[in-house]
Amino acid sequence: MNNNRKIVILGSTGSIGENALRIVQTLPQEHRQEVIALAAHSNYKRLLEQAAEFNVKHIALMTHDAAEAARAIAPKDVCVHEGVEGMCTLATLDGNERLICAIVGMAALPPVVAAINAGIDVAIATKEVLVAAGQFVCRLCEEKKVNLYPIDSEHSAIFQALQDSGATPWCTRNNPEFMGANPPSVKPAIERLILTASGGPFAFLPEVDFSKITVEQALKHPRWSMGPKVTIDSSTMMNKGLELIEARWLFDIPMEQIDVLVHPESIVHSLVEFKDGAQLAQLGVPDMRVPIQYAMTWPFRVDNQTLPRLKLEQQETLHFYPPNYERFPCLRLAREACSMGGLTPCVMNAANEVAVAEFLKGRIAMPRIWELISKAMAAAPVVAPSDITLDAIFDADKEARSFTAGLI
């Protein structure tokens, strides 16, 4: 098996992308990764810096203005692609062996689908791909015999724990070279998956009146520095709801067998409980480079001394609490959306994005977020699984955004 590979990184100027490039710089020679293309939304200056540093000749920018600005100053041997079409071109670039997708939002879906259709494995960090289109994407992976490698720390933890149990995670069952022609089934062994959550800024307050919560209060996460949308999702615990849906598809486990525990220290990244009562957990310093590297180098664990080490003797306590579904209705709504299936998760995701944007602008109170999501879900179209196409997903996303905006 080839330990070296050529990779494409979409979203290279964001946190995940920057950390992936740091990993590339620190991997040992026997596990060298060659970056052949990079893409960003609009930060063309940083993208060109990255291209020069890693000798990349193909870049893409989502916005036309950014692409034009990049073309004006890019070296002659650097090809600047544009928009979703450009992202798809990079995802399927000749020689690409693993796509690392970290661009935000539904824009990630077309290049991921393009890569899967081309038979290219995908390391996935973009939640919307599996939340809005999990059934479609996983069906396509089945047809094309493509693997998905989770980058989110919670899903990476489950991914690792399942392998350490001797099972084959559903998302990588298409690698007979590593797993054998008849990989063992994972389903009979699993009792439940347990995702951990930091709890955000409001999980541990004795009382909270969300109708009076300000944007500034919601953006004060006790542990992480993240973008505004993700931080608000953490404050409503919708981020964990999205991860529940991702886990359902990555590991082909019914939602009824996936639980959440609030774990404020963020040392235990998630757990798997098996039929015999045993639990396997993955622990580590909260640093995204660890799950990013594992997704990039799988099936190998690669020695990288630049990654942090956990010292449990310095960790006085670890706490775990059940989430409060009454305080955080978004967590319940995500469960319901997944159980309803069809296009409902797509509708839920779109409505949440619109509602969060309105909250960030100060136009609605926080409880209005889950009220709007609930109304949008109730209006979601009912479709058969066979009718869920890429066009149907984007139509549902567009209609849900319009419907939600019309309620404000």
Question: 324: which DSSP letter?
Answer: -
Give 238-267 pLDDT, tens digit per residue.
999 999 999 999 999 999 999 999 999 999
> Which tens digit of pLDDT belongs to each residue from 86-123?
999 999 999 999 999 999 889 999 999 999 999 999 99
pLDDT of residue 104: 87
- Nearest alpha-carbon partner for 65 in 45, 42, 87: 42
User: Are both 96 and 187 inside the same structural domain?
Assistant: no
Closest among 75, 41, 83 to 56, alpha carbons compared: 75
- Do residue 253 and residue 287 come from a single domain? yes
Exposed (0-12), middle (13-18) or buried (19+): which is 332, by Cβ within 10 Å?
A: middle
Name the residue with higher pLDDT: 183 or 43.
Answer: 43
Q: Could you tell me if 21 and 109 lie in one domain? A: yes
If asked whether residues 127 and 186 sit together in one domain, one would say no
What is the pLDDT at residue 181?
Answer: 46
Q: What percent of the chain has pLDDT over 70?
A: 96
pLDDT at 188: 62
By residue range, what is the domain housing residue 311?
151-199+237-323
Give the rounded percent of residues in the chain with a pLDDT score beyond 90: 85
168's CB contacts (< 8 A; 6+ apart) are 162, 179, 183, 184, 185, 186
| Of 128, 337, 123, 334, nearest in space to 229 by CA | 128
Q: Report the C-alpha gap between 406 and 354 in whole angstroms.
A: 10
**For the ranges 3-12, 220-229, 281-290, 292-301, which has the lowest average pLDDT?**
220-229
Residues 135 and 191 in one domain: no
Is there a single domain that holds both residue 119 and residue 159? no
Quick one: 131 and 155 in the same domain? no
Task: With a cut of 80, say whether residue 357 has pLDDT above it.
Answer: yes
Instruction: Find the angle CA(378)-CA(208)-CA(335) to the nearest 5 degrees.
Output: 30
Domain shared by 88 and 45, yes or no: yes
My answer on whether 87 and 187 are in the same domain is no
CA distances from 158 to 165, 171, 243 (A): 11, 11, 12
- Mean of per-residue pLDDT scores for the chain: 93
| Rounded distance between C-alpha atoms, residue 47 and residue 44, angstroms | 5
Do 163 and 246 lie in a common domain?
yes
What's the average model confidence in pLDDT over 22-40? 96
Indicate the number of domains in the chain: 2
Q: Residue 190: CA atoms inside 13 Å, Cβ hemisphere, count?
A: 29
pLDDT of residue 385: 82
What residue type is assigned to position 50 of the chain? Answer: Q
pLDDT digits (tens, 9 = 90+) for 177-235: 555 444 555 566 899 999 999 998 998 888 999 999 999 999 988 777 778 998 999 99
Going by the DSSP 8-state scheme, the letter that residue 97 receives in this structure is -
264 and 195 together in one domain: yes
Neighbours of 226 (CB within 10 A): 15
| Angstrom distance (rounded) from CA 24 to CA 35 | 8
Mind listing the pLDDT tens digit for each residue in 324-337?
Answer: 999 999 999 999 99
How far apart, in whole angstroms, are the C-alpha atoms of residue 21 and residue 38? 10
- Residues 37, 124: one domain? yes
